[in-house]
């Protein structure tokens, strides 16, 4: 007989997701504060981190767990397998995903500094446009190792992400196999205050029960 609890495909139907009730309540409670908080989901491989992010972003679950769900936008970004990339590629990917998932976010003119595209300012302006909609933006960043272990993502990059979260209704929910500070272990980034904005959410394999893995 086919095992109904084995499925390597991403689960997108909330009815097929089981377990993690305590972690789910904790995550949504942290996101429901006046200023949503940044969270770092940590576990070994094959525990189901992508499944959990899809569950968190599903409108049915957002409506169930957040009293003002209409004021939230959950944007899921898969960072895995991007290869040798740079901050410009990150901002382009995240910006395109935001515009695809949030209605009526316009394409903004490119900002230039000394004749070169300034992707930081472009992203900052996009975040401001989203904020004008009175939307709390939750960026679900899967496989954060893809940028954490890449030395092209330097201290100014992480400082910029921190400033975005500190000055806007924006929160990051990351997944990784280790603490963020351990995966971002190149010298100048290791002591960055970026890591101080995160609350760790560890996942333990023995407490996971869901159809699909």
CB contact burial 41-51 (16+ within 10 A = b; e otherwise): bbbeeebbbbb
Q: Is residue 3 part of a domain?
A: no
> What percentage of the chain carries pLDDT values higher than 70?
86
Q: Is residue 213 part of a domain?
A: no
Q: Is residue 59 part of a domain?
A: yes
Q: Is residue 181 part of a domain?
A: yes
Q: Is residue 5 part of a domain?
A: no
Average per-residue pLDDT in the chain?
Answer: 86
Q: Is the four-CA dihedral 146, 202, 198, 183 of positive or negative sign?
A: negative
Domain of 123, in residue numbers = 14-207
List, as one string, the DSSP characters of 145-179: HHHHT-TTS-HHHHHHHHHHHHHSSEEEEEEESS-
Q: Is residue 9 part of a domain?
A: no
pLDDT single digits (tens) 43-70: 988 778 888 999 999 999 999 999 999 9
If pLDDT is split at 50, 70 and 90, which confidence band does 131 have?
very high
pLDDT of residue 18: 52
pLDDT of residue 108: 85
Q: Mean pLDDT across the stretch 188-211?
A: 78
- Helix or strand (DSSP H, E) at 114: none
- What ranges make up the beta strands (E) of 32-169? 38-42, 72-78, 112-113, 116-117, 136-142
- Looking up residue 35, the CATH number of its domain turns out to be 3.40.50.300
pLDDT of residue 14: 54
pLDDT of residue 119: 93
- In the beta sheet, which residues pair with residue 199? 39
Q: Mean pLDDT across the stretch 13-22?
A: 62
If pLDDT is split at 50, 70 and 90, which confidence band does 8 have?
very low
Q: Is residue 2 part of a domain?
A: no
Q: Is residue 52 part of a domain?
A: yes
Quote the number of domains for the chain. 1
């Amino acid at each position: 007989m086919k095992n109904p609890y084995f499925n390597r495909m991403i689960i997108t139907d909330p009815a097929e997701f089981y377990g993690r009730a305590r972690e789910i309540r904790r995550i949504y409670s942290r996101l429901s504060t006046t200023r949503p908080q940044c969270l770092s989901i940590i576990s070994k491989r094959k525990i189901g981190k992508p499944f959990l992010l899809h569950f968190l972003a599903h409108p049915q679950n957002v409506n169930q767990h957040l009293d003002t769900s209409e004021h939230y936008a959950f944007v899921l970004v898969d960072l895995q397998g991007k290869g040798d990339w740079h901050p410009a590629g990150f901002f382009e990917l995240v910006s395109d995903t935001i515009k695809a998932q949030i209605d009526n976010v316009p394409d903004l003119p490119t900002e230039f500094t000394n004749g070169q595209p300034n992707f930081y300012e472009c992203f900052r302006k996009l975040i401001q446009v989203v904020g004008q909609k009175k939307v709390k933006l939750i960026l679900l960043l899967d496989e954060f190792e893809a940028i954490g272990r890449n030395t092209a993502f330097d201290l100014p990059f992480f400082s910029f992400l921190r400033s975005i979260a500190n000055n806007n209704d924006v929160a990051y929910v990351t997944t990784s196999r280790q603490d963020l500070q351990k995966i971002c272990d190149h010298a100048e980034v290791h002591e960055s205050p970026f890591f101080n904005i995160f609350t760790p959410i560890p996942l333990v394999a023995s407490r996971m029960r869901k159809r699909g893995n």
